[in-house]
Structure formats: C-alpha cells, structure tokens
Amino acid sequence: MAIQHRDYDQEQKKLEETVSIIDNEIAQLREDIRDATDDYVKQVVNFSKAKDLRYLEDQGREKPYFGRVDFLKDEVYELDSVYIGKRGIVRSDTFDSIVVDWRAPIASLYYSGESKDAFYRMGREIVRGEVRLKRNFAIEHGKITGIYDGAVKETINREMGHPDEFLQEGFIDEFLAANLNETNDSRLKDIVATIQSEQNDIIRAEKERPIVVQGVAGSGKTTIALHRLSYLIYNYQDTMLSKKFMVFAPNRMFLTYISEVLPELGVDDVQQSTFVDWAARLVKPIMPKGWRITSPDKPLTLFFEEDQNPREQEMARNRLRFKGSLVCRDTLEQYIRHIVGTRIPFKKLSFVYTRTKQVFAIDGEFIKQSFLELFSNLPYQRRLDALRKHLKQEMNKKFYAHLRELKVDLDKQGLAKFEKMLDQILDQYMTSFPRLEVFASYRELMTDEQLLRLLAPADISDEIVHDVSTSTIELFEQERLEVEDIAPLLYLQHLIEGLDKAGHFDHTVIDEAQDLSALEIGVIALMTKGHSITVVGDIAQGIHAYRGIHSWDELTQGIFQQPRASYYTLSQSYRSTVEIMRCANEILRRIELPETILAKPVLRHGEMPSLLTSSAEIEQWKMVADRVEQYVREGLQSIAIVAKTIQGSKKAHKALKEKLPNITLLGSKDKQYPGGITVMPAFLTKGLQFDAVILLDVHQYEENEWDAKLLYVAMTRPVHRLVLTVRQGENAPLLADLPVDYYVNE
C-alpha cells in the first residue's frame, strides 16, 4: 500500500510533477481557444484542443495515469520508464510524452509483457526486451493511495512455485482485487487499468479478420469488445472512421447500460443499436404499404410465460428457427437459382439489318453462359443490366465488323438509327427475363409449401416445411411480418438488388451474439467492410430456444470463411465470487452442453449463496424485503429481484412496493437501467451485473436446457451476494443434486 511501499515518496513526487505539467497545459489550452475565429482550419484545431482541455480538467488532472512499465530494450539496453493512462499527455513546449495512451503499442507491455520474453509491435517492426517492472497506482484527488507491483511470472516462480499452475488457480493481484470489490451503479465502467493478458490479446487482435469470442459469464466480453473499438479507432484513424463503427446490443436497456464506456475511452460518435431497430429501418422500403412488424416481445410471452399451447410453441419454434438459420440462407440462394433455371428461356437473340439483309445473332447457350458465369457475383437485377450491356457490346462488334467487311461508312444519322433499333430489340429481348421484386419473391417462397419443400435442403423435415409455410400464411394474411422475417428479407434483397454500400460499417461489434440468429449475423457481415467484426457471446447463456446460435461453428464455418475467423475463449470470470460461480457452474453441469466451458472464478471469496425457504407468499415477501434492507445498510448499490417470467416480476413488484418504496419494475420495453433496487424477469438480466441478486421461486425452473440456461444467466449476475428463494414442499429440480456445502439453507 501507499504508506508502506518503498517507492512511495518518489512516485508521489513524480505525480505532483505530472499534475504541475498538466496545470500548465490546461492554462495554455484555455488561452489558445479563448478567442473566437471565422477561420475553418482554426475552428477544427480549437475543437480538438477543447476536447483535450475537457479531458485534462475532468479526468487527466485527477488521475493522470494508472500504471507504469519499465522496459529494457535488447541490443541498445535503454531503459524506458513509461507511465500509462486513459489518454496520452504531451508537453506542448517540448513535445515530450508525459503519459502514454493505453492504446499505444508500447502500452501493451503493461498488459501482456512477461519479463525477459517481452515485445511490442511498432508497425511492422517488433521491439524486444525485458520488462523490469509493472506497477499499478490507485490515485485519488492528486494523491497516491495505493501502489501495487504486478506479478510477472518470474516473481511468482520465485515466491510461489510454478507460475502457470498458480495462475490457473485463479490468481489475481491486489490492484485487480481492489477494483473487483467495488460496488456497482447503473452503468458499465471501463477497465483500462485492469485489462488482463488474455483480454489484451483480443483487444489488440488484427483488424482485417473477424474474431469470435466465447466468454463465460463475468469474463468481461462486453467491456473487452468496447475497448477493442477504442483501440482500433486510435491506431487506424487514417483508414477507419469512428462514426462508421457499430455496436449491436441485445436490447435498448443494455445500450444505456454501456453508454458511458465509449466516451470514457475517448470515443464519442460510434453508432449503437439493437439489430431489430437497425434492420427494421432498412427493410421498411421493401414492405408493402400498411404492413407492420410485430412486437419482438410476442415470442417472449409465448416461450417464457406459463400455460402456453405446446403445439403453438412447436410451430413457432420451427418457423423462427428456420427463418434465422443458414439453411434459410441456402434456400434463398436456391430460390434465385430456381428462377434462373426454370423461368428464363435464354432464347437466341437475333435481328436483320435491312440495308444489307444481314442477320446478326447471338446463340442462347452463349447468353446463358454469360449470365451464369461472367456475372455470377452480381445481384440478380444487376446481372440483368450487365447482361444487356454485354449483349449490346457483342452485337456492336458483329455489326461494325460487318460494315468494315463491306467497306460501308455510316453517317451519324445512320449510326443513331442503328443504335435506336438495337436498344429496342434488346429491350424487347430482356422482357423474357423476369424482374424480381424482393417482398413478392419472399412471400412466394415462404407461403408456397410445395416450392419451399422443393428448394429447402432434404434434411429439413416435411413437418418443419409445413409449419413454416402454414404459419407464415396466417401471419401474412394479417399484413404482418415478425422480427425473424427481417434478416431473410434483407438477405434476399442482397441477392436480388444488392445492399446499399454507403451504409457499410468500418467495424462492427456484436454483443450477446448467441441470441442473434446466424442469418442476422450474416446480414451484418454483408454490411461490414472486409468482415472486420468482433463477435462476443456465451453459448451457455443462449436462453432463446426458438432462435440464436447453437454452436460457434455456424459462424466460423458457415459465415466467416474468407478471411477465416480467429476464435478465442475466455474462461476466467472476474464478476462473481468463488462461492457464487461454484453454485452456478453446477447448473450447467446438469445439461452437458457440447461447447460448454465452465467459468473459473478469480480467487475472490465472499458469502455463501443463501436459500430462503418460505411456507407462504406473504412470508417470502417479508424475507425478501428484509434481505434487501440489510443489503442497503451494508452499502450495496444495485440489487436485482429476479422472477422467471414477466408476470412473476409484475407480481413481485406489486407485493414489495409498499415495503420497498424505491423499487423499480423493469420490462422489455424499458430503455433505461436506473440502478438501485429493481425487479425484472430473468431474461432481461442478460449482460447486466448487480451487487446482489435475489432469485425468486427457483422451483419454477424445470429440468431442461432452456430453463437451466435461464437460471444460470440469472445466477451469474451478482458481484457480491446471491439469494435463492423456494416454496416449502416444492421440488427445485435444477438444485436437486447441488452439494449442501455450496449454499446456506435459511
């Protein structure tokens, strides 16, 4: 700690010198931007200076840096002592770097450098050397309150034994532990000071290829993806624009939850949206007038509420899974091939030049070959335009060769007459090619059961084809589309007309990707330059049985083939205590998912999860209210009371609002996560974290894959406290084999 560390006086003096330099920079920046100007270049410069001033005043002076790394370069043996902060700070009079930006190449040593084997990249050059020191600082109001020297492997080896074994046990240093033990408010925070080595590899991965991250609950997936955006913008600002970066999140509430991270990281104008909100705007021009898209909440009611019709659930599941699958993508592509193969006659094109009685002709096979091979990479309508242009060029070649052979020289009027005649002939010929309209084509495919059966892969059962077709007919008769129709419609537009390239993204982040369909991610990939995409998620948290990714192979083998995706796994969980994660992992063990990676919690201990048993509802509500009040007294800021269903959360809110007047009910339509004491359905907790979670009526979760995933998601949200409630005499099947020493029975 600060008062004990041998270098405290030296480091405090360094901090004071840095703050003094920052004060001078603040004064100079204020002077520079004081006067208004009409000069555009000066306005741009002043705008940049104003941003620098705002950072220095709001954050830079308070906490100019959080880390230090000492690096001895090979060969030249120069020792660089680098102080690392959220932003770089440079003296304007000498241009000396006082603080290095965490995104700069040399700063990677702070996160990943391991003693003698350390290196960092400067463009194409690799700088090698030895990390002599990694140091973390806790700074408050210009004073150092903590100094923590990083545990490089050699230090661990010297003091603790074999380093890899020690690290695999979940070792965390003091500085990280201090950060993890903080309480949580209503917003996600940046982690630039505590980025771990495996997280740093993802943040700094090359931009030219997609990356897919399978990360357990609490591994920092979301935060890492947002820090990667900041890193890319900083290092590739000449070729990538932040306003052309897009973050896709699972719901609007989650967007507000992450809203403060990017500005904290110096990124202000990144686009943020849910897939549905973004894609619905693109698909609206395709939809017939008067048609509407049904609420995304409709499937939530069907699949998450009790007493639903099993056959209706099965039919919806078949339809929605099919429409979101890569099988649907393949069926759409087959539809275009079907149109080309059965509805285009590819007749011979010919005409007679009356002046010489010469017949000019292009064989139908040549036309077919041109259409299928020369222009196969183009959308259908553009292929038609390209074919017409190609046929005109071929006819012109034949015609002018004929004129040269006869030594005939036409005047301008004669040539214009020929051009007009040729255009009329080509226009007439092209009428034999059907002009496809996106929505009409989609409607034909999805509502014609025989056609769908013909074009869908043989391994798709007749029952699924029937369910897709009949239930889509019912939906379309009401002039309605559902959310799962959006991606296939956009993909079909890509095949027929092409998607607007002006709307393409320089880079895309897809968070909680397991709950998007493969086809939705495929559409996003089409709209992202060079497949520069960061996909993060956890298959174990895929709570929607009717949609979503069931294996990352759907992306790594089905979508990201060129270039191939880089695949990362994050198994270390930094959110919950050992006691909470041990309990949650047991739920996953019961369902044995093929790609399940159990979370390895950091060695941060806390209270055992509690199981509250009540004999009646009124007793349960009193126990819950008492526990919430206890946690508030302990200083916990965010407490979530979680029911399995929407109706259950409404019921809990009604029962508790008198005892807990500050309680807030949250539903799928809410856009803000307010912090404090909240009640919500389990599916809405996805991606969020709280100081404490009270899970209501765990006996309602049945022993199947989807309930187990839902319970797992809810159980992995708390940082400090987990409480489960159960009704006396009720069987909680997912807790049946939970070891009794994993929780406290109250």
Q: How confident is the model at residue 424 (pLDDT cuts 50, 70, 90)?
A: very high
What domain range is 653 assigned to? Answer: 603-745
Please report whether residue 493 resides in a domain: no
Q: If we measure between CA atoms, which residue out of 261, 266, 251 comes closest to residue 185?
A: 261
Contact residues for 278 (Cβ-Cβ < 8 A; gap 6+): 246, 248
- Measured distance CA(486)–CA(357) in Å, rounded: 54
Mean pLDDT across the chain, nearest whole number? 88
Please report whether residue 265 resides in a domain: yes
Region of poorest pLDDT, from 521-530, 665-674, 687-696: 665-674
Please report whether residue 366 resides in a domain: yes
Whether residue 332 contacts residue 462, with contact meaning beta carbons closer than 8 Å, is answered with no
> Is residue 37 domain-shared with residue 143, that is, in the same domain?
yes
> Is residue 29 domain-shared with residue 169, that is, in the same domain?
yes
Buried b vs exposed e over 136-169: b needs ≥16 C-beta within 10 Å? Answer: bbbbeeeebebbbbbbbbeebeeeeeebeebbee
Please report whether residue 705 resides in a domain: yes
- For the cut 80, the answer to whether the pLDDT of residue 404 exceeds it is yes
- Looking at residues 11-21, what average pLDDT do you find? 94
Number of domains, the chain = 4
Q: What is the pLDDT of residue 582?
A: 93
> Is residue 263 domain-shared with residue 385, that is, in the same domain?
no
> Is residue 218 domain-shared with residue 172, that is, in the same domain?
no
More confident residue, 502 or 586: 586
Binding residues for ATP: 215-222
Region of poorest pLDDT, from 10-19, 144-153, 458-467: 144-153
- Measured distance CA(82)–CA(96) in Å, rounded: 12
Q: What is the pLDDT of residue 152?
A: 43
> Is residue 102 domain-shared with residue 43, that is, in the same domain?
yes
- Looking at residues 592-619, what average pLDDT do you find? 87
Select from 378, 397, 431 the last residue of a domain: 431
Please report whether residue 487 resides in a domain: no
- For the cut 50, the answer to whether the pLDDT of residue 170 exceeds it is no
> Is residue 566 domain-shared with residue 621, that is, in the same domain?
no
Residue reference for tokens 């239930």:
471
- For the cut 50, the answer to whether the pLDDT of residue 438 exceeds it is yes
- Measured distance CA(539)–CA(591) in Å, rounded: 13
Select from 408, 431, 454 the last residue of a domain: 431
Contact residues for 570 (Cβ-Cβ < 8 A; gap 6+): 198, 199, 202, 213, 214, 215, 216, 219, 220, 221, 224
Q: How many CA atoms lie within 13 A of 4 on its CB side?
A: 4
- Looking at residues 371-383, what average pLDDT do you find? 93
- Measured distance CA(634)–CA(456) in Å, rounded: 59
Residue type, 600: K
> Is residue 169 domain-shared with residue 204, that is, in the same domain?
no
Q: If we measure between CA atoms, which residue out of 649, 583, 571, 707 comes closest to residue 220?
A: 571
> Is residue 738 domain-shared with residue 637, that is, in the same domain?
yes
More confident residue, 383 or 673: 383
Q: Is 141 left (phi over 0), alpha (psi -120 to 50) or beta?
A: left
Q: What is the pLDDT of residue 169?
A: 39
Binding residues: 215-222
pLDDT tens digits along 270-312:
999 999 999 999 999 999 999 999 988 788 777 777 778 889 8
Residue reference for tokens 């959080």:
66
> Is residue 153 domain-shared with residue 228, that is, in the same domain?
no
Single pTM value for the model? 0.87
> Is residue 613 domain-shared with residue 737, that is, in the same domain?
yes
Select from 431, 460, 481 the last residue of a domain: 431
- The rounded radius of gyration (Å) of the Cα atoms in the chain is 31
Whether residue 323 contacts residue 445, with contact meaning beta carbons closer than 8 Å, is answered with no
> Is residue 177 domain-shared with residue 264, that is, in the same domain?
no
- Looking at residues 437-448, what average pLDDT do you find? 97
Instruction: Tell me how far CA of residue 203 lies from CA of 29, 220, 232, in angstroms.
Output: 32, 11, 8
Length of the chain: 746
pLDDT tens digits along 37-65:
777 777 878 888 888 898 899 888 999 99
Region of poorest pLDDT, from 63-67, 405-409, 731-735: 405-409
pLDDT tens digits along 629-659:
999 999 999 999 999 999 999 999 999 999 9
- For the cut 50, the answer to whether the pLDDT of residue 346 exceeds it is yes
Phi and psi at 556, nearest 5°, equal -65, -30
Q: What is the pLDDT of residue 196?
A: 82
Peptide bond into 488 cis (omega under 30): no
**Encoded tokens for 434:** 């059907």
Residue type, 151: A
> Is residue 129 domain-shared with residue 211, that is, in the same domain?
no
Instruction: Tell me how far CA of residue 3 lies from CA of 9, 69, 147, 569, in angstroms.
Output: 9, 21, 9, 39
Please report whether residue 581 resides in a domain: no
**Encoded tokens for 97:** 């770097």
